[in-house]
Structure 1
């Protein structure tokens, strides 16, 4: 097959030369394997979405583009905050990444982690599918990557091993694992907790030994990681921030593909993202609470805040919101607030 393809290419080049036609630009050779980085494995909606994208790409390109998923951010030794830099440098070819993990390099992505900005899924959609999402993609495109689709890790709920959390006072003194973002440190410090940054790989052993009391993550992560087995017996639904995911390709890798394959990869990303979002939201709504029931059945006390109780946390973090809104960009935050209000 390769011999026939080479012969055909050679014949075409000779014909072009003989007719005086311009020679086609040399296409960059495709890699035998493209490396896709993600934080979580296939048991989680996030990792499932990455694998789904890889499978769809293989199908839509008839195997011309083969993608291997590397979960656990193993391509950067598990350091989630280095993933975007490695993606820009070409150490990583493709990624399904978190807006939180990439926010140290792209400050505007901190928008999604402003405490209590987004009250529901319609608010997330208003941002990612509206003016804000478009602006974010433009900003990312200036940083050596090609963003293709929005996915979702979900609203981050808070759990701990000590007691139910209903008020900011309940968080005081608790040792809480948070992601490597200054905004998360500021938010939990404002609530009186003792936040500790650590990778997800280190978080579960820390909970098991009692080195930390609690954590915050989407319900899909709580369930798939079986956090009830590492002492997380108290779970509060407060929806203080959500974590959109972004399906991206390194710009040099993208430019090495034919327009036909670029289109196929983009369509695969958009399909995988839609399916991943549906998976991330399954079982956690009033009409479909199967996942919540499953978590409670494992001996976890699930606390749902009233709007008045949620307002108490919002007031306690209002100073953090104001400070970080300035860092994110006043105009972008204003757009977000307007679009959420219109939802």
Structure 2
């Protein structure tokens, strides 16, 4: 059983993030052909590492898969953060280890739940969206059109899906339901950034921390593509999808963070958490005004750590995702 290891702020650059991309001048007009599984490496009897060739990006993506105990189960996708699952801060975590399967107890929590849990790795500073000026970053296409059919066939799923994201990919997970209607029965944002078009400068600063330009993602900040991928601007398109969004209102470090003794107050994480909390509130207010029901949780404590993300994920499963998937 993998136990949580360490507590590291997911974002050590500027501010926050989110999101994913839909239709644009450079978008694919037809469904991509040729995605296939290049290999499956069993870690144990329930955990596989599945390598998939993405034709839209012309590269192989490794995906952690925790198999359901019985066939005919739904699938819960969990996106990585801005670091793509790697320890870019140099904390000594092995490549691919700063991710859901390395930092949280996926195997323990889902052991008796009939659901496949799939978490892709990689995609540093990509927002896990499609970029209009970078063919190597077409992650929305991968997550909405290439990967799910392969997982469905390989693991004999029932075709029902949910997706969650943390921090940089919290808004991305919600955006997937906007961009690919009907694919996901539930979406969840764990301390995510849900208002990118109104805060393009913050997104740009975070991308700049990885040497990337936000203009290459969705064009000039605040432009049409930014609005098209802004969950807070597209709440009406979420009707019929179960939605969970959460963040800590205070940003204060607390027991949920599982900080090691002597770690301190985690000022950077707290600063980021307060920003995403405000963004999450705006999204929830817009959803309420549009008459779109969402599960909106304001945590009393939490400073943008894996402890907080894991707690939010488990809560989202119990309150929103599991019921939507019928598990």
Identify whether the pair has TM-score above 0.5, normalized to the shorter chain.
no
TM-score for the superposition, normalised by structure 2 = 0.28
Question: Which structure: greater helix fraction?
Answer: 1
**Greater RCO (CA < 8 Å, at least 6 residues apart):** 1
